[in-house]
Structure 1
Amino acid sequence: MTRLSVNINKIATLRNARGGNTPNVCEAAVNCERFGAEGITVHPRPDERHIRYQDVRDLKPLVTTEFNIEGYPSQDFIDLVLEVKPEQVTLVPDPPEAITSNAGWDTVKNKDLLIGIISQFKAAGIRTSIFVDTNLANVEGAVATGTDRIELYTEPYATEYPEDKEAAIRPFVTAAKRAHELGLEINAGHDLSLENLQYFYQEIPNLAEVSIGHALISDALYFGLENTVQMYKKCLK
């Protein structure tokens, strides 16, 4: 079964635009789980422009499925993860000024950095995933870092899907097969949507989890949160 983890950053973005606590991030997370999500993802950034560090602390005792914290491994981020101890941490190579995640790790160039960080998380019993593209050198390099999983960066797939879905999916199938051969579990995320998720799920072998935020929360404005979570889950059957 491929798990659906809902990224609730956009809920926090809406809250922060007005101040106060509406919409309530914790309530949204609890409801996503109640409606069928198998995980909650957050991506705190240094400027806290959406999810705040305190949100992460507040969410930990409430999330009853799988809590996934993703982000760039600055020392503050590392300290937060070790304090909260989520089920999973996903390392993303996005600098503080990035609008959103826009690339995977060069796992060869950053091997020593990743080994040092991942070893801390593994010692704390936290499963680690690292964001990578479909370059097989980066998939193969991920093994040497000690990570448990990779998360395939799916923006290129989503961009190319409307023009030629078979060409769009091809490098992802190759990367997923190679990762499985190497003993890595496989997650995926970024720009997955109701339009392109089902085909991705059908074609990618051994897909453990997808993390979806922007599209899902946007769809919820039209269809309602409960209905939207169920629509995404149906794409994974």
Structure 2
Amino acid sequence: MTALSVNLNKIALIRNSRDTRNPDIPLHAQLCIDAGADGITVHPRPDQRHIRVQDCHDLAAMLTVEFNIEGNPMTGPRKSDRAGVSDYPGFMALVREIRPAQATLVPDGDNQLTSDHGFDLQRDGEQIAPLVAELKALGIRTSLFMDPDPAQIRLAAQVGADRIELYTEAYARAYAAGAEVDAVLQRYIRAAETAAEVGLGVNAGHDLDLQNLPLFSRVPGLLEVSIGHALTVDALRLGLATTIAAYQRALGKAGG
């Protein structure tokens, strides 16, 4: 069955709007776990505008489910300009120290509002390969954020990744527009089939929600979805526990 990993970034964004620990990140992680989440995802960025370095350490100390840390592995140290907020050590340094179950490498830039494209491994593969090797040597499963491009996915296997995370915005947009959704979904199915052929596991994420997830869950071999924005919005209306149960049902889990 496909695992549901809940992304806590938007919970942290609410917290950061005030000088407070409320909402408390470990507490909300535990609420997600108690409600049936299979994993917890965070994406700490250098400006620490939502998830902070200390959040990653706090979560690592208490989680009983898989911890997935996302970020750009080329991002180096950054001084914090906020009182009481520790400096950002760089993505690789943070992951080396915490050693989560999974590291998802994402080619996002400092000024991006959110991740908006997968890796171009024809361009970046030589830089990514040794980083993947280092993470795997530390016992960290490594996933690369990728567009549904079979040629690029084959390169992901060549650089040594364990999994890919399919960037699903194109599917979500097609679903919302009600146009060519079947054709777009077929691109993701072919991408997943290519991943299986070259020995890669398949994760997915970005703009998946309660409406579009049931159809997308038909993608073969889908191991994990990480969902944050839509799940947080739904939780405002439905409550967190009810929302997580609804997402598990959307993934086809009868007990959700």
What TM-score does the superposition give when structure 1 sets the normalisation length?
Answer: 0.98
Identity of aligned pairs, percent?
A: 49
Distance in 2, matches of 1:168 and 1:150, equals 18
Unaligned runs of 5+ in 2: 77-89
Q: Partner of 1:35 in structure 2?
A: 35
* Structure 1 counterpart SS, 2:62: coil
* Shift of residue 168, structure 1, vs aligned partner: 2.4
Could you tell me which residue of structure 2 aligns to residue 55 of structure 1? 55
1:172 corresponds in structure 2 to: 188
1:62 and 1:108 map into 2 onto residues whose CA distance is 39
Provide the rounded CA distance (Å) in 2 between the counterparts of 1:128 and 1:161: 29
Match of 2:65 in 1: 65
> Do residues 95 (structure 1) and 109 (structure 2) align?
yes
- Equivalent residue, structure 2, for 1:221: 236
Measured in 1, the distance between the counterparts of 2:153 and 2:19 equals 41
Secondary structure class of the residue paired with 1:131: strand
Output the aligned Cα RMSD.
0.7
Q: 1:149 is matched with which residue: 163, 168, 174?
A: 163
Aligned length: 236
The equivalent of 2:250 in structure 1 is 235
Q: Deviations over 1:106-137 (max 9, x none)?
A: 01211111101111101100000000001111
Given the alignment, which residue of 202, 218, 223 partners 1:208?
A: 223
Moved over 3 A (4+): none
SS at match of 2:46: coil
Q: 2:7 aligns to what?
A: 7
Could you tell me how far apart the structure 1 residues matched to 2:91 and 2:69 are?
9
List alignment gaps of at least 5 residues for structure 1. Answer: none
Q: Distance in 2 between matches of 1:168 and 1:232?
A: 22
Q: 1:123 aligns with which of 137, 140, 146?
A: 137
